[in-house]
Structure 1
């Protein structure tokens, strides 16, 4: 179906009850359903994710608290206190990416986020490969978040005053990860309202864990000087300090992703063209500031900073809390951290299931008829939700037999995520060069092209840093290049399937119609303005 034919069909579809899926269909405003119909789809989800719930979803996916407690020791042992500056560097770069995403999602507020954006900016084949890369990224995200939670769960239920920080055994890690995934899956099955509520609880937990605890540590438990953030230190990274500082970029690069999840649930958000860009920007800004606050607070309060800098303490957060707030306070903060892990896994499951659903809805996914179904009671893509948790369960078993593989798996995850992000940014820039001017409710105006180029430059730099070899000269070749090797293998598998199965030929969904849709939206806005005398333009 051509873009023009689809727009004509969409524009002529009935709105109101019919566009919302029938008298008993999901609740949606007339305008949102009409906009969705103009883009070629019917309203099937329940629009109960408010601006703040959408922000909370992205925030708990990004999860600065989880990111900091997971990467704190790695950053300090690699490059010392100055590693905290990577949070600001990467945060600025990802904010540029969020601005580009905001313009695209404002014009195409569709479930499936990245997949739908690049499909409308380029074509179905390019969209398939982007979605394949991104689905692999989120699948690993579910896996790594659940596995990283194991040490904190072990400390919560097994730590003592003498040994507050406990490293989980391979068996404990497997059991905790499976239990975490199962609990989050069950919660997600109860629909959008439950997802929104738990996202808000996760947001509150994150802010409590960062703001209240961080303020207390900074005000009453400072054992170290601010000068530590300006003193070069490299205990676990051989070579020059510049190399160590670049290696510490993982502190920021691993932290700032997840804001795109705000767009994955676009068909469950009222007035998504305006609210989702704001939610994305809030996620990056608030998440970045929170991460810096938490990192600084823990570093200044560390009673044995030397052990962390030397790489001798790989799980220092419980010990820092124990020395600062005591056993009861430590347990409470670990409970807050656990809540953040649960909310984070839930948001990743939700994002992954929506992109699989959107993929299948366009007949671009094996078993499309199965994975494009929406449950009648809770209006969630149940089959897609179940599917996105299969691979994490298999990886849990793999990590059980190879405990040292977790960091290597996470390294591939971030490189795949950045690659998918840059596919969107590149597609947007390509379409701009062809004359596209974003016509959503939120745009950058004349600054759009400049921001687009800057975001692409940043993303390429980020990919280079993530693909760079790790470890010293004595590290095996595969281990040094594991992120790039994993990415190339996954890309090769995706390309082989794409070129042999040619899934894009089966789909009749619109593609490459960004300029046509922009013209349609401007014409509709002009008609509304003429009818209302400019009051509602």
Structure 2
């Protein structure tokens, strides 16, 4: 049963939502802790560090760990901007309703179109990466057939948990959070304290990755180590209508996700570097998948198996959180009449209070992408994952830019979470950081293979052009009467209600 919690601005959750033009459709059963767990398991430092540790070490060497500080700091600025926006607009769907209310329907369509495809690809990638852990747990050969069926298993099991309702989602997210904390912080600390093979000065030693060139170029090339890791906190806002007192709790959950996720990733990354028995082999690229060997040598066979159980739990929880966030975005899109089949997609189950049809789509498209990867080349997973990262960052900066535009027009965020006079400065810095990150992600590679070097921009271009064509031909913006560009007016309304 939904309970309306009085907010700091004098409005309870239901009243706040009605000021924004909507009625309660969900059960507000998610606490601050559960909301944080959802964002944290989406961000998943275990998944992020494991997926890119070898690449970061090969390209940038041990100093690539400093990208965790750089990107973590930049994304914290973005999270603070998001916090002010969601505090005024605690609406399901996150990126889409925020950009719509800050700018307009067409702008929101493009931002959300890019974001939803980036999320669907990310779901696919996490399920595929998780299949390797599951195969190792049962000593199964990691063939293409095994990878396909185990990836599908991840997707189906996560769907079943999501289908059960918000309480089950929150429960599994909390279990995933516990698994992540054990898998990254506990293991990382154990490696740092008891299995250290290197000196701490190793983090200032490039170990020759620059070759005859400048280390600055090598360090910039390792940026993906941080850029791939620090997103997921926005999922806290995707389920805003299922959280008690979301205007205050979601900004806190976002900030907690960045801070705890960053510390966790730092311990894990540092632990793997310090405990590596042959660090030079990892840096040289001769050991392409070093973490299993590090765990085997430090934890023993039984310890490594226990870690695999923890890792599989974390991967499953990550897929679960991604599915939940994507389905709420699709629901929010559909509720405003902005998608084909919007009435079907906007249906919320009266029994479980879950947007079941949107959830089916958020689970089926990644399953189809898994089949596409199965019949395609071995490099296809890496190529489509590269698009997902830049797609997320483009969507993030769409919110940051729209918020800055409203500030210039006179908007003063009216939610209970506010940065006050510092908000303008934080907004500008968040935008500058975001542009820097997008440039790094979009810079073509230097392998000489056209598709490999330009795949990020090609993928982004395909998604953006297809979205623009649909926008111009189908004109979904003309079929929707939901509010847009009303940040200043809504802020005045909320202040009037509070007064």
Q: TM-score, normalised by structure 1?
A: 0.90
CA distance in 2, matches of 1:190, 1:236: 51
What residue in structure 1 maps to residue 432 of structure 2?
457
For residue 344 of structure 1, the aligned residue among 314, 318, 335 is 318
What residue in structure 1 maps to residue 196 of structure 2?
222
Is the 8 Å Cα contact of residues 347 and 356 (structure 2) preserved in structure 1?
Answer: yes
What residue in structure 2 maps to residue 6 of structure 1?
none
CA distance in 1, matches of 2:356, 2:144: 30
Per-residue CA deviation, residues 331-366 of structure 1 (Å, 9 max, x unaligned), is 001111111100100000000000100110011111
CA distance in 2, matches of 1:111, 1:237: 49
Is the 8 Å Cα contact of residues 360 and 371 (structure 1) preserved in structure 2?
Answer: yes
For residue 367 of structure 1, the aligned residue among 326, 341, 350 is 341
Is the 8 Å Cα contact of residues 2 and 29 (structure 2) preserved in structure 1?
Answer: no
The CA deviation at 1:476 is 1.1
Aligned partner of residue 312 in structure 1, secondary structure: coil
Is the 8 Å Cα contact of residues 233 and 258 (structure 2) preserved in structure 1?
Answer: yes
- Which protein has the larger Cα radius of gyration, Structure 1 or Structure 2? 1
What residue in structure 2 maps to residue 488 of structure 1?
461
Aligned partner of residue 138 in structure 2, secondary structure: helix
Q: CA 1:362/1:237 → structure 2, altered by over 3 Å: closer, same or farther?
A: farther
For residue 487 of structure 2, the aligned residue among 506, 514, 526 is 514
Is the 8 Å Cα contact of residues 47 and 269 (structure 1) preserved in structure 2?
Answer: yes
Is it true that 1:48 corresponds to 2:29 in the alignment? yes
CA distance in 2, matches of 1:413, 1:374: 28
What residue in structure 2 maps to residue 154 of structure 1?
135
For residue 151 of structure 2, the aligned residue among 169, 173, 177 is 177
CA distance in 2, matches of 1:286, 1:490: 33
Is the 8 Å Cα contact of residues 322 and 330 (structure 1) preserved in structure 2?
Answer: yes
Aligned partner of residue 216 in structure 2, secondary structure: helix
Is the 8 Å Cα contact of residues 207 and 280 (structure 2) preserved in structure 1?
Answer: no
The CA deviation at 1:485 is 1.1
Name the stretch that deviates more: 229-238 or 333-342: 229-238
Is it true that 1:247 corresponds to 2:221 in the alignment? yes
The CA deviation at 1:389 is 2.0
Q: CA 1:90/1:186 → structure 2, altered by over 3 Å: closer, same or farther?
A: same
Per-residue CA deviation, residues 313-345 of structure 1 (Å, 9 max, x unaligned), is 222111111111111100001111111100100
What residue in structure 2 maps to residue 91 of structure 1?
72
Moved segments of 4+, more than 3 Å: 25-30, 233-240
CA distance in 2, matches of 1:314, 1:44: 48
Aligned partner of residue 459 in structure 2, secondary structure: helix
Per-residue CA deviation, residues 395-446 of structure 1 (Å, 9 max, x unaligned), is 2122213121211111100111000000000000001111110000000000
CA distance in 1, matches of 2:355, 2:462: 29
For residue 48 of structure 2, the aligned residue among 47, 54, 67 is 67
Q: Which runs of 5+ in 1 are unaligned?
A: 1-24, 160-165, 527-537
For residue 403 of structure 2, the aligned residue among 415, 420, 428 is 428
After superposition, where does 1:83-482 map in structure 2 within 5 Å? 83-158=64-139, 168-233=142-207, 235=209, 239-400=213-374, 401-472=376-447, 475-482=448-455
The CA deviation at 1:195 is 0.5
Is the 8 Å Cα contact of residues 209 and 215 (structure 2) preserved in structure 1?
Answer: no
What residue in structure 1 maps to residue 9 of structure 2?
none
Q: Which runs of 5+ in 2 are unaligned?
A: 7-11
Per-residue CA deviation, residues 62-82 of structure 1 (Å, 9 max, x unaligned), is 001111111111111111100
Per-residue CA deviation, residues 182-237 of structure 1 (Å, 9 max, x unaligned), is 11011100010001001110111111112221121111111122122111135598
The CA deviation at 1:371 is 0.4
CA distance in 2, matches of 1:127, 1:263: 16
Q: CA 1:234/1:182 → structure 2, altered by over 3 Å: closer, same or farther?
A: farther
The CA deviation at 1:470 is 2.0
CA distance in 2, matches of 1:417, 1:123: 19
Aligned partner of residue 481 in structure 1, secondary structure: helix
The CA deviation at 1:478 is 1.9
* CA RMSD, 1 decimal: 1.4
